[in-house]
Amino acid sequence: MTTKAHPPTLAGRREWTALGVLMLPLLLVSMDVSVLYFAVPAISADLEPSATQQLWIFDIYGFVLAGLLMTMGSLGDRIGRRRLLLIGAAAFGAASLVAAYANSAETLIAARAVLGIGGATLMPSTMALVRTMFTDPAQRTKAIGVWSGVMTAGIALGSVMSGVLVEHFWWGSVFLVNLPAMVLLLVLGPVLLPESRNPRPGRFDRLSVPLSMAAVLPVIYGLKELASEGWNVRYVMSVTVGLLFAALFVQRQRTAVSPLVSPELFRRRGFTPAVVLNLAAAFGMMGSAYFTTQYLQSVLDKSPLEAALWSLLPSVPIGLAALVGAQLVQRGVPRAHVVGAGFAVAACGYVMLALAGTDSLWQLLAACGVLACGIVAVMSQVADLALSAAPVEKAGAASSLLETGTEFGGALSMAFLGSIGTAVYRHEIPASAPTAAHETLGGALAVADRTPGRAGDALATAAREAFTSGMNAAAITGAVLLAGAAVAAAVTLRQAQIQENAGRAEVVSPSGA
């Protein structure tokens, strides 16, 4: 005898309205990654931070966010995702107010750290609540598509908003814009958002918290510094130390009675491929951003605000790409095909980038648009797959693993593709150029500005051509890697789908057998 499964409850106007409310904190958290791009000069003039303090003002938010994602995802499963979301919103709003009126570099660094803590609570909580509110697979796929589009667009929007606000107001205004959204969330959240938690969470494993941070932070720091400063023993050691702590963290999760991240998640069909493919998608997205930002400003000689405004154009079709991917899956196209096609489209974007010259604005923008559309289609589908595979009571932990993978993928991309671009740049720059010109494009242009006449113009032209050659080489590498990811996605997700279908099949025994 077979047991009929009850059909999932369809989400109504209340749930879709709640989704709109959830998108506010998600948008602001993603914007805060890039919101200081144009505010740093004004902050430096006002607070006079040291060089080290300026770096921490910019980087502390991302480091704290990445280091606490797994902890906050697991904590939300235990105390309630809505409760953690509201606590995080209150902390985020309070820290935004302190940051806006900070009168010293130390105060601003501390406020940015608290913003990172709040962001770490908001990101996995929003995704876990989407998993809770939308139980119908088709509706959940569409909702996660919206989630992915908003998160990606927020990063691009943050830099533009920063430029506009700093130009018309003072630097603290970039933080004050967070307050209305957080107040709205605190007012409407208790009314619209359902509370959900793991009914049997077990004891919170405190030892896993420092282990997870010790695993994530040194790796993220080392990879980012390798991307910006080049190969250095100190940064390689940082990555190595992080990997050693990662091994200890994994061992702890296998042996703990109530682990922070349950190993059971990785035994779920499709979950592990989804996490790995999400990391690969983040690799593809951030690798292009590393080069295109410099290309717009230093090769095409755009001002920072002009560059940010131009970079908004590729973001326009992002939300549509996620929804198109969701519609294809709902109409019966296998997810493996949609994800594989998304990676293939993204690889085509890298091919277009590989063919760009030193005066290829529209080709660059088109390449970024194609790349972003493919990547967002991938990320929305693998996020849906991971959350569908994870049990509802562990949705927070599953969400945090996806977000942590995104951070790793972005940092790894900047380090790997950035090193390729730098190596080609240094090979292409004329040997007779000054030492500073061999380090970075910015250094070369600074030397060229101080060099009068044709010699300065020649150096600037050579440096721009060398940088573009490096970008082309990195783009070719990115295209090859994403093409490989397309094949891997088509194979692994097809196998996961076959296993899932086999697991769902029910054997009907004849009566009296």
pLDDT at position 349, please? 92
Contact, 264 vs 401, CB < 8 A? no
Q: What is the pLDDT, as a whole number, of residue 351?
A: 94
Q: What is the pLDDT of residue 428?
A: 83
**Three-state DSSP state, 486:** helix
DSSP 5: P
What pLDDT is stored for residue 416 in this prediction?
80
The pLDDT value recorded for residue 299 is 85
**In this predicted structure, what is the pLDDT of residue 254?**
82
Run means of pLDDT, 10 residues per run, the chain, 513 residues: 53 77 76 67 75 73 80 81 87 89 87 87 82 77 76 70 73 82 84 76 77 82 72 82 87 80 77 86 81 82 77 75 76 84 92 89 89 86 82 77 80 79 83 74 77 79 87 92 90 67 43 42
pLDDT recorded at residue 327: 77
What torsion do the CA atoms of 114, 115, 121, 127 make, to the nearest 10 degrees? -170
- Which pLDDT value is given to residue 397? 78
Would the CA dihedral through 78, 83, 89, 92 be positive or negative?
negative
State pTM to two decimals: 0.80
Which pLDDT score is estimated for 227?
66
Q: What is the pLDDT of residue 481?
A: 92
HEC string of 7-39?
A: CCCCCCHHHHHHHHHHHHHHHHHHHCCCCCCCC
- CB 354, CB 477: distance < 8 Å: no
| C-alpha 479, offset from chain centre | 19
